[in-house]
């Protein structure tokens, strides 16, 4: 029988291997975490004198922050089983009133993305690696959870990653695969729309590996982050590797929920590109970018012009973003490796 000490050493080794492997796969370097410092960001996005605050650093791979109806910040913790001794994933919640973070749900079904609908229900994209590979909805009053999408044409999804909800209540979600032992049964890594009648529609198949997704405030543009590592499981041998397409894409979004007319808002070349994305009320797009040259959050006007860059120093990856307004002040929340950050900004979210 393996001793507790040996097991913990094994877990620690796998944690190190996982972090190093992910860094290699996406072209980033690891760095020791440090206390966040005040930063100055010129332009119309960040409040004058704002401070980048580290709020939490107790996760494994944090993702998918979202503002709940209670104004608390919910975020995912993807605990890759091969690196954590079979941890089953978590959803954490940060309370701005107390500055405390606690577990909201564990196991999480390997939750990777969260949104709340107009009724205050939590909608979660569950990934692979012993996860749900589905979209689930939790009633905030009863706590009961319902699977609302798990199959397309009779086959399981790859690993639903991120999602957004339009004004009609339709859910748009991405379905890539980055890791997990389960077979990949969908012929493409697509973007889907889940209608209010429960029907699921493939709307995009021209994105190599779709990740973050968000809808513009006027509901006429769909933004998709293309983050293609060219592998479907990080646990591969050390061989020559490179990234595929790393782009922030925009599409025309029709009233019937179809998307067309792909255009490139930003191309990151051989560097790691955009992961999670969000928009503010003026239509600016905020992209979490782990490119080693300028790691942090890049903010783009709808035209594609970069109008701000918010550095997140001393982190190997910045994974996702969300805007939250409380007591008249707006904050940009950012997940980065095992942490949650925030900085005060000037424009509320959509």
Measured from the Cβ of residue 293, the count of other Cβ atoms closer than 10 Å reads 9
153, two tokens: 């044409």
Closest C-alpha to 217, from 174, 166, 275, 274: 166
246, two tokens: 């790393």
Q: Which residues have C-beta within 8 Å of that of residue 42, sequence separation ≥ 6?
A: 308
Long-range contacts of 201-208 (CB under 8 A, 24+ apart): 201/257, 202/152, 203/172, 203/257, 203/258, 203/259, 204/251, 204/259, 206/262, 207/174, 207/249, 208/244, 208/245
How much is the pLDDT for 213?
98
Task: Give pLDDT tens digits along the chain (350 positions).
Answer: 433 343 344 444 444 445 444 443 333 333 333 344 566 677 799 999 999 999 999 999 999 999 999 999 999 999 999 999 999 999 999 999 999 999 999 999 999 999 999 999 999 999 999 999 999 999 999 999 999 999 999 999 999 999 999 999 999 999 999 999 999 999 999 999 999 999 999 999 999 999 999 999 999 999 999 999 988 887 788 898 889 999 999 999 999 999 999 999 999 999 999 999 999 999 999 999 999 999 999 999 999 999 999 999 889 999 999 999 999 999 999 999 999 999 999 999 99
Q: How far apart are CA 347 and CA 350, in angstroms?
A: 9
Closest C-alpha to 323, from 289, 294, 287, 291: 287
Query: How many alpha carbons lie under 13 Å from residue 301 in its C-beta half-sphere?
Result: 6
The answer to pTM > 0.75 is yes
Q: How far apart are CA 93 and CA 106, in angstroms?
A: 12
Q: How far apart are CA 227 and CA 209, in angstroms?
A: 6
Q: Which residues have C-beta within 8 Å of that of residue 187, sequence separation ≥ 6?
A: none
DSSP 282: T
* Kind and range of the H or E run holding 14: helix 4-26
CA distances from 194 to 140, 198, 241, 242 (A): 20, 6, 35, 33
How much is the pLDDT for 333?
98
Query: How many alpha carbons lie under 13 Å from residue 326 in its C-beta half-sphere?
Result: 18
How much is the pLDDT for 29?
30
Burial profile 117-138: b = 16 or more Cβ within 10 angstroms, e = fewer = eeeebbbbbbbbbbbbbbbbbb
How much is the pLDDT for 232?
81
- Residue 100 backbone phi and psi in degrees, to 5: -105, 145
218, two tokens: 């006027």
How much is the pLDDT for 178?
96
How much is the pLDDT for 28?
32
Residues in the chain: 350
Judge whether 129 and 110 are in contact, CB under 8 Å. Answer: yes
């Amino acid at each position: 029988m393996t001793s507790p000490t040996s097991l913990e050493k094994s877990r620690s080794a796998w944690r190190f291997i996982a972090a190093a492997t992910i860094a290699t796969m996406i072209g980033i370097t690891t760095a020791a975490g440090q206390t966040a410092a005040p930063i100055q960001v010129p332009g119309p996005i960040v409040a004058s004198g704002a401070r980048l605050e580290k709020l939490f650093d107790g996760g494994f791979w944090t993702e998918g922050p979202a503002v709940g109806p209670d104004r608390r910040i919910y975020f995912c913790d993807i605990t890759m089983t091969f690196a954590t001794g079979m941890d089953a994933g978590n959803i954490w919640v940060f309370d701005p009133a107390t500055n405390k973070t606690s577990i909201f749900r564990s196991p999480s079904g390997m939750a990777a993305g969260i949104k709340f609908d107009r009724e205050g229900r939590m909608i979660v994209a569950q990934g692979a690696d012993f996860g749900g590979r589905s979209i689930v909805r939790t009633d905030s009053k009863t706590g009961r959870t319902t699977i609302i999408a798990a199959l397309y044409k009779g086959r399981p999804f790859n690993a639903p990653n991120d999602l957004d909800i339009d004004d009609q209540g339709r859910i748009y979600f991405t379905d890539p695969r980055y890791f997990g032992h389960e077979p990949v049964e969908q012929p493409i890594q697509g973007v889907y729309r889940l209608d209010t009648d429960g029907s699921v529609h493939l709307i995009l198949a021209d994105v190599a590996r779709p990740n973050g997704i968000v809808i513009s405030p006027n509901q006429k543009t769909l933004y998709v982050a293309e983050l293609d590592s060219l592998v479907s499981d990080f646990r591969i041998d050390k061989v020559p590797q490179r990234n595929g397409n790393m782009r922030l894409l925009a599409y025309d979004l029709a009233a019937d929920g179809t998307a067309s007319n792909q255009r490139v808002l930003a191309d990151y070349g051989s560097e790691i590109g955009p992961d999670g994305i969000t928009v503010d009320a003026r239509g600016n797009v905020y992209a979490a970018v782990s490119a080693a040259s300028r790691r942090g959050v890049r903010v783009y006007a709808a035209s594609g012009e970069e109008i701000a860059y918010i550095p997140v120093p001393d982190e190997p990856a910045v994974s996702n973003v969300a805007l939250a307004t409380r007591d008249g002040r707006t904050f940009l929340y950012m997940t980065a490796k095992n942490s949650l950050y925030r900085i005060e900004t000037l424009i509320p979210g959509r």
